[in-house]
Amino acid sequence: MGLLRKIKILGEGGKYDICASTSTGRPVKRKNATWGRTTIPGVCQSFTPDGRCVSLFKVLQTNVCGMDCKYCANPTARSRESFSPEELARVFKGLYMRNYVEGLFLSSGIPRDPEAAMETMLRTVELLREKERFGGYIHLKILPGATRDQVERAASLADRISINLEAPDGLHLSEIASQKDMGIDILRRQGWIRDCLRQRGKIPAGHTTQFVVGASMETDRELLHRVWREYRQYRLKRAYFSAFQPIPGTPLETLRAQPLWREHRLYQMDWLMRRYGYPRHLLMEAMDDNGMLPDRDPKMTIAYRTLDGPVDPNTASYDLLVKVPGIGPRTASRIVSYRENGGRITSLRQLEHMGCVVRRARPFLVSTGGGRPGRQETMDRWLETTVGGAA
Amino acid sequence: MTPGKCGVDREWLLAMLPRHARADRLLVLRVERMDPRDLCHLSAPLARKAYNMARAVAGDAHRSMAFLRLGIYRDTLLWGYIKPVHRVEDMVVRSLRKRYPKHATAVCSPRGVFHAVPGGDVHRENLVVQPPSKGRPGAERPSGPLAVLFDRICETAELLGENEETAVRDDSGEEGIWGEIWSEYYQTQYIEDRRNPRLFHRAMPKRYLSSFPGLEAENVPPGNSTLDDFG
């Protein structure tokens, strides 16, 4: 059946794009919407055997692509397929009504005329929003050749839009995609997206980007510098990392696959940057001399290198508490708020109830708040009994 | 670095707690009478226990909403079958009502049938419903009690006229094709190099695969497991 074949080919083509979110963070009321909503908490309708959440109908409008990105399967794909806007809208509606998916993630190959390709994507989304009156979640990719008007229309129609950077700078990008110019094709469009963010009601879930980690031999330091700039300069909502995996038939098929832990450590660093608010100089403490992250928890590494001594949860500030491994922003806030309300931490058990992972935090904590001295464990003592003992 | 929201919402916790399968009146009463400061900051063992139970309920409702597959009955009623651990069926119907505001919705479970018409409250019918086979509507028997109930809900919804103008109609012709489309799409999303059965089973335990009809595509055979998979 033609439709199943299209879904197979265009679904395959879109599977490397990442978007974990299906919600806007706040309720969005779309005029005249009769079905669908952007739930506040994201819902995962299913999971694949690789453990990834499948919540969005993630497909390409077309896999016809005239680019020469060396890591991507689309330019060398033998079977070329395209969805018409009507066809895609009908399939999506059928799946959404049966609760198979939570929203649409629409991307596309980039044919010779990227403006026309972007226009087809926009027509699909307009069909869903205006004719079908869909009020749910839509993530729309911006193609490198899209015009400013198209970017603004996408910002009005979609809940989230994104344009992939793929590499930390123009030099690295040119190594893996010689036809893309980072400044003109990507950063300029990110600037337009930033302008849209200033307008009320546009892109409620913000904009994101994605990096192919390890395809252009970049370092983790370079990647994180770029991410840092994106958050500051372009008001990026978040960055996604995808460890490079060679795809047979592509020019980079012989390049070594990147270990998945590298991607995981980058996400941890990104988390420390966005959620914990770690300043940049602190984050750099987790790097080795080559600018790469070792396969260790970066928060633990930073804590070892920067904490002067054990932290007392009864006196420490929020900034200090949040640096302790096993204590996240919420637990740190809880501890501070509890103290402000006259409470006092008297045992590790109490900290555990408040959300602290004591197994990790214990070496970094000291208590002067009434704990039994005999059982008190300080960082020095921990080092003595574990690291020193092991040596 | 600035502190953010940290406390536990007492109202939310007390709304979730009685829905837990193992919650009893005494426990709820003890939690209600707790020092609000301990409850807010989870500094007491009972507070943590109550919080964990409330989160288990919220998680069950979340997964029930996610793993539920819907059938369309007479173009008017969206319905499905779930078998949650906790008493969350009405929460699922409320969530569906927001998602499909112009449709009547019904959720069948071993505790009965929970349903709502557009703009209406959630009602419960004391019907014992068996899980439908392969996620197909269980109202196969036209004169069965479930079909009678569904017809009544549809008539009420049609009287309200809420879905008169809605573009949401089942125009598929054959319902079964959507299972095939989903199955085909689901297979395309898997990246073999990233195979991680432990993560898969943590997110979708076997209990859910058997409790939610319509998850056939997700019933992934273990395949060539390595020792690492059992580590």
State chain A's mean pLDDT as an integer: 88
pLDDT digits (tens, 9 = 90+) for A15-50: 888 877 777 666 777 878 888 888 766 678 888 888
Q: A103-107 and A56-60: which strand pairing?
A: parallel
Residues B126 and B183 in one domain: yes
Is A98 in contact with A36 (CB distance < 8 Å)? no
- Residues A127 and A7: their CA atoms lie apart, in Å, by 19
A130 — alpha (psi -120 to 50), left (phi > 0) or beta? alpha
A235 — alpha (psi -120 to 50), left (phi > 0) or beta? left
Neighbours of B166 (CB within 10 A): 18
Is A44 in the B-facing interface, judged by CB distances under 8 Å? yes
Residue among A4, A260, A277 minimizing CB distance to B181: A4
The stretch A49-66 carries a mean pLDDT of 90
In a domain, B118, yes or no: yes
B193 CB neighbours in chain A (<8 A) are 245, 257
Residues B34 and B143 in one domain: no
B47 CB neighbours in chain A (<8 A) are 353
Q: By mean pLDDT, which of A10-24, A355-369, B177-191, B208-222 is the weakest?
A: B208-222
Residues A249 and A344 in one domain: no
Q: Identify the band that residue A75 occupies on the pLDDT scale cut at 50, 70 and 90.
A: confident
**Residues 6+ positions from B168 with CB-CB distance below 8 Å:** A34, A35, A93, A97, B100, B102, B103
pLDDT for the residue numbered A386: 43
Three-state DSSP class for residue B114: strand
Residue of B185, B212, B215 to mutate, interface with A, max A Cβ within 10 Å: B185
Rounded to two decimals, the pTM is 0.89
Residue among A35, A58, A132 minimizing CB distance to B100: A35
Is A286 in contact with A298 (CB distance < 8 Å)? yes
pLDDT at residue B162 tops 70: no
Q: Which chain A residue has the Cα nearest residue B163?
A: A34
Residues B85 and B27 in one domain: no
With a CB-CB cutoff of 8 Å, which residues 315-344 of chain A face chain B? 318-319, 322, 329-338, 341-343
Residues B95 and B32 in one domain: no
Segments forming the whole domain that contains residue B200: 61-222
Is A77 in contact with A64 (CB distance < 8 Å)? no
pLDDT for the residue numbered B203: 84
- Nearest-CA distance from A257 to chain B in Å? 9
Residues B48 and B93 in one domain: no
Structurally, how many domains does chain B consist of? 2
Q: Identify the band that residue A68 occupies on the pLDDT scale cut at 50, 70 and 90.
A: confident
The three-point CA angle A246-A252-A257 to 5° equals: 35
- Whether B184 sits inside 8 A of A95 (CB atoms) is no
pLDDT at residue A8 tops 80: yes
- The residue out of B53, B80, B95 marking a domain boundary is B53
In a domain, A299, yes or no: no
pLDDT digits (tens, 9 = 90+) for B38-71: 898 998 999 999 999 999 999 999 999 999 989 8
Q: Identify the band that residue B230 occupies on the pLDDT scale cut at 50, 70 and 90.
A: low
Is A28 in the B-facing interface, judged by CB distances under 8 Å? no
| Between residues A344 and A119, the one the model is more confident about | A119
Neighbours of A214 (CB within 10 A): 22
- Residues B146 and B152: their CA atoms lie apart, in Å, by 10
Segments forming the whole domain that contains residue A325: 310-390
pLDDT digits (tens, 9 = 90+) for B164-174: 544 444 544 55
pLDDT at residue B206 tops 50: yes
In a domain, A305, yes or no: no
pLDDT for the residue numbered A227: 97
Place of tokens 């119907």: B93
Residues B47 and B152 in one domain: no
| Between residues A192 and B177, the one the model is more confident about | A192
- Report the CATH number that the domain containing residue A198 is assigned in CATH: 3.20.20.70
Q: Identify the band that residue B231 occupies on the pLDDT scale cut at 50, 70 and 90.
A: very low
Residues B206 and B138 in one domain: yes
Q: What share of chain A is helix, strand, coil (3-state, %, to 5)?
A: 45, 10, 45
pLDDT for the residue numbered B100: 92
pLDDT at residue B5 tops 80: no
Is A287 in contact with A220 (CB distance < 8 Å)? yes
pLDDT for the residue numbered B222: 58
Residue among B6, B65, B195 minimizing CB distance to A43: B65
Return contacts of A277-284, CB within 8 angstroms, 24+ apart: A277/B1, A277/B2, A278/A302, A278/B1, A280/A228, A282/A306, A283/A224, A284/A221
- Residues A166 and B98: their CA atoms lie apart, in Å, by 37
CB pairs A-B closer than 8 Å: 193
The three-point CA angle B123-B126-B128 to 5° equals: 125
End-to-end CA distance of chain B: 37
In a domain, B230, yes or no: no
b/e burial code for range A311-330 (CB count within 10 A of at least 16 → b): bebbebebebbbbbbbbbbb
Structurally, how many domains does chain A consist of? 2
Residues B65 and B129 in one domain: yes
Three-state DSSP class for residue A211: strand
Is A183 in contact with A170 (CB distance < 8 Å)? yes
In a domain, A279, yes or no: no
A329 CB neighbours in chain B (<8 A) are 1, 3-4
Is A58 in contact with A93 (CB distance < 8 Å)? no
Q: Identify the band that residue A1 occupies on the pLDDT scale cut at 50, 70 and 90.
A: low
Residue among B68, B185, B200 minimizing CB distance to A7: B185
- Whether B187 sits inside 8 A of A8 (CB atoms) is yes
Residue of B2, B6, B16, B40 to mutate, interface with A, max A Cβ within 10 Å: B6
Q: For a pLDDT cut of 90, what percent of chain A falls above it? A: 69
pLDDT digits (tens, 9 = 90+) for A154-176: 999 999 999 999 999 999 999 99
- Residues A367 and A381: their CA atoms lie apart, in Å, by 13
| Between residues A357 and B170, the one the model is more confident about | A357
Strands of the sheet containing A137-141, edge to edge, are A56-60, A103-107, A137-141, A160-162, A207-213, A238-243
The stretch A1-14 carries a mean pLDDT of 90
Q: For a pLDDT cut of 70, what percent of chain B falls above it? A: 80
Residue among B69, B102, B188 minimizing CB distance to A35: B102
In a domain, B107, yes or no: yes
In a domain, A8, yes or no: yes
